[in-house]
């Protein structure tokens, strides 16, 4: 089951953030794509950019799901501004997880669809490794 919420920004000038939490399972990819498309369409992105956003979210989420620990939750947050959308996806991952493979086809796809993509990892309060993929996509990205 998916949970979503609009999170108030810490700064009044910052755009609001929408968060979606789903099981880290491939069955949830359609939910992530649908929410990504709805947010992009609500903010009047052109159809090519909407498709780029959906594909980028799908690819990033798939990378995390494949490398996630059992019974984990994937968090996806969207922050839309006049310049584009920032998307952050994170999930607990195995310590040996290859989430950052710059020569893989999936990494090439992410680089092609976004203005920027980065991967980071850290340790959460429970001592688990959490990997995060940050994406930035502007409407002009589709014109590349």
Q: What is the pTM of this model?
A: 0.85
Tokens read off for 144: 């590349």
The candidate with the shortest Cα–Cα distance to 67, out of 24, 109, 126, is: 24
| 42-55 tens-digit pLDDT | 999 999 999 999 99
Could you write out the DSSP letters of every residue in 85-135?
EEEEEEEEB-TT-----TTSHHHHHHHHH-SEEEEEEEE-TTS-EEEEEEE
Q: Is the predicted pLDDT of residue 99 greater than 90, yes or no?
A: no
Read off the pLDDT band of 142 (50, 70, 90): very low
């Amino acid at each position: 089951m998916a949970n979503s919420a609009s999170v108030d920004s810490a700064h009044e000038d910052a755009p609001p953030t929408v968060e979606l939490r789903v099981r880290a399972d491939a069955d949830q990819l359609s939910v992530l794509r649908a929410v990504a498309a709805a947010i992009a369409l609500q903010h009047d992105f052109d159809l090519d950019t909407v498709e780029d956003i959906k594909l980028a979210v799908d690819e990033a989420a798939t990378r995390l799901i494949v490398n996630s620990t059992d019974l984990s939750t994937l968090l996806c947050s969207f922050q839309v501004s006049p310049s584009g959308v920032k998307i952050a996806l994170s999930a607990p991952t195995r310590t040996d997880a290859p989430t950052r493979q710059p020569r893989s086809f999936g990494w090439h796809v992410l680089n092609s669809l976004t203005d920027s993509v980065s991967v980071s990892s850290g340790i959460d309060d429970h001592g688990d490794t959490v990997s995060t993929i940050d994406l930035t996509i502007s409407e002009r990205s589709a014109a590349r």
